[in-house]
Structure 1
Amino acid sequence: MSEPPGGKSPGPEAAITDDANLDDLIADLRRQDPDRLYIALFAPPALRERLIGLHAFNLEVAATRERVSEPMLGQIRLQWWRDALDEMRRGDEPRRHPVVRSLAAWMPAAGEAAFDLALELVNARERDLEDAPFATVKDLGAYAEATSSNLVRLGLLAAGVTETAAHDAAQAAGRAYALAGLLRAVPFHGAQGRIMLPGDLLGRHGIADARQSIGRRDPGKLKSVLTELAEMAERDLMSARAVRSLPKAARAPLLIRPLARLYLKRLRRARFDLSEPRIDPGNAAKIAALWRARFLA
């Protein structure tokens, strides 16, 4: 099988080195994950294609829920990616899929750590197939680390960066970005009938029945929940920014930091009113933030 269930086939001889396939991955990221496309485009040429392929891999697994009609198909899709990674780890011929071929160009040389991080990322995405909220803030943090932080750390490995300090910064920055994304996505999840905010956090702020009260009868309580999560993200961001003497090669993968900072600033400026249009900074502001961090920091 050259394509996971729920996706389009790239053709039997597809490879990331084909310009057409690379253009397709860029187009998919531009439509569905422009943040990570911009990060890849700000990377040095030698790293850029690796990050495009890596971020396309993340998109493939992160969009599983939206690409399948029932949870069982989502499980099958995620298993396809586990099998592809396991085959790559064993040294088998990589599957004829442009994202798999892209990963196969560098992951074996990056060692076992790269495969462990990627498999943790895939496994964590099983959580997306459920409607139930996270039970605790700790559960949410673990999910953020397994998905968002692991992706940033994989970017570091793609750049050849193994220093512990850089990976510590990536762990914190990934959590901050994931929490900022969760805050901004509350209306999106609500439209799907999902509440992803942690149950213990909702309870601390007096929201006993999230589906009935969140954002409707108790907008003030909702804002207090969002404020606490934002404070957690800001602490993570401070930790990530406090790491000094990072290798130059770590700059591009860690460009997630200025984006997280930008989103959190916009949320605070809007006083956590998620209906406020200015919480979306727009592409120009994001590109400007990335440019300053990449070339002026």
Structure 2
Amino acid sequence: MAELPPIAEAARRHDPDRFLCTLFAPPAKREAQWVLIAFNHEIARAREAATNPMAALIRLQWWRDAVEEARSGAPVRKHEVAEPLAAAIRAGALDPDDLLGMIDAREAETEEEMPSRGALLAYLRGTAGGYAVTSGRALGASPDSLPALQSLGAAYGMAGLLRSIPAMAMRGRSLLPADMLAERGLTPADAARDPRQKGIAAVAQALAAEGLGLLPPRRPGGAAALPGVLARRDLTRMARSGFDPAEPPRPRGLGDRLAMFWAGLRG
């Protein structure tokens, strides 16, 4: 197997699900998809890598400035992702407005808690949904397919959020909606402290069902829509009684990979 370019290797390491989807994109457009994955990883880890919310906002502003500078033709920042990102923007392969929208949506992660179910859905539509729209636009998706891609991306983001509950708890955080937790006598701090507490599984199952409802009746075609295959499989498992949100997620199995390969081959 040929050695991958550095940006592709970074995409595969940080986001193997979406990297696998890029293999079904036209070869000439894969590099921009890898850049998008790497960029998304950088802004997604802004809060995790920062010591406090203000530091996270500064990291997000750094990326906002990098996008604007790439659009304006200013000198490119020396960074392993900022440099290929600038090249993709200047080549017209990635839309800077879409990228800025993804950054803006990440600011919700700097808050102490996710206040409501509605706030969570808005966050998912802007983050994972924004990624799906940006990816689809870069691959030539028709404008009328973008709303479906955004909903599909939000569903994938919901599955990812639920899969991350144990890892978030280890960092003392929770993005489960405060209003849904309050209905069960819990707070986000309770969920962060111990996701095994009674009531948290019910919240997670309800959110999984909500995520399934985000999936469009007809999945759009193209590589940008392939994460929806994994979202449906993940959320279906999570919506069942017996789902334990405190258990670390299982690694991707053969069934998941075959389902996505089959969907990719069918276009």
- TM > 0.5 fold call: yes
Unaligned runs of 5+ in 1: 1-18
Aligned pair in 2 of structure 1 residues 215, 96: CA closer, same or farther (>3 Å)? closer
Within the candidate set 252, 264, 268, 2:235 is matched to: 264
Aligned counterpart for 1:289 among listed residues 246, 254, 259 = 259
Deviations 1:149-198 (A, max 9, x none): 1111111121122422x101111111101111111111111122112111
* Contact map agreement 2:195 2:245 (CA 8 A) in 1: no
Give the structure 2 partner of residue 254 of structure 1.
Answer: 225
Checking the alignment, whether the CA contact within 8 Å between 2:76 and 2:83 is kept in structure 1 is yes
After TM superposition, the structure 1 stretch with the greater mean CA deviation from structure 2, 97-106 or 253-262, is: 97-106
- Measured in 2, the distance between the counterparts of 1:225 and 1:270 equals 11
Pick from 192, 198, 207 the counterpart of residue 185 of structure 2: 207
Residues 145, 171 of structure 1: 8 Å contact kept: yes
Contact 1:54–1:99 (Cα < 8 Å) also in 2: no
What is the CA deviation profile of residues 73-99 of structure 1, one whole-angstrom value per residue up to 9, with x for unaligned ones?
333322221111111222334434443
Distance 1:38 1:195, change over 3 A: same
Deviation string for 1:212-269 (max 9, x for gaps)?
4764442xx22221121111100111x2x425xx5xxx51111111011121133245
* 2:13 aligned partner, one-letter code: R
- Corresponding residue number in structure 1 for 2:137: 157
The answer to whether residue 60 in structure 2 is matched with residue 84 in structure 1 is no
Match of 1:229 among 207, 210, 217: 207
Counterpart contact for 1:68–1:74, Cα < 8 Å: yes
Native 8 Å contact 2:223 2:264 kept in 1: yes
Report the equivalent of 1:107.
89
One-letter code of the match for 1:242? R
Who is 2:115 aligned against?
135
Give 1:101 deviation, angstroms: 3.8
Q: Which has the larger radius of gyration?
A: 1
- Could you say what secondary structure the match of 1:196 adopts? coil
Q: Name which of structure 1's ranges 46-55 and 155-164 shifts more when overlaid on structure 2.
A: 155-164
> Match for residue 55 of structure 2?
73
Gaps of 5+ in 2: none
Corresponding position of 1:16 = none
State whether structure 2 residue 101 is matched by structure 1 residue 124: no
User: Following the alignment from structure 1 to structure 2, what is the Cα–Cα distance between the partners of residues 257 and 217?
Assistant: 30
Aligned length: 264
| TM norm structure 1 | 0.78
Query: 2: CA distance between counterparts of 1:167 and 1:67?
Result: 31
Deviates more, 1:58-67 or 1:69-78: 69-78
Q: Which amino acid aligns with 1:180?
A: A
Asked whether the 8 Å contact 2:196–2:246 carries over to 1, the reply is no
TM-score normalised by length of structure 2 = 0.86
Report the residue type matching 1:262 in the other structure: R
SS in 2 for 1:133: coil
Alignment partners' CA distance in 1, 2:103 and 2:72: 18
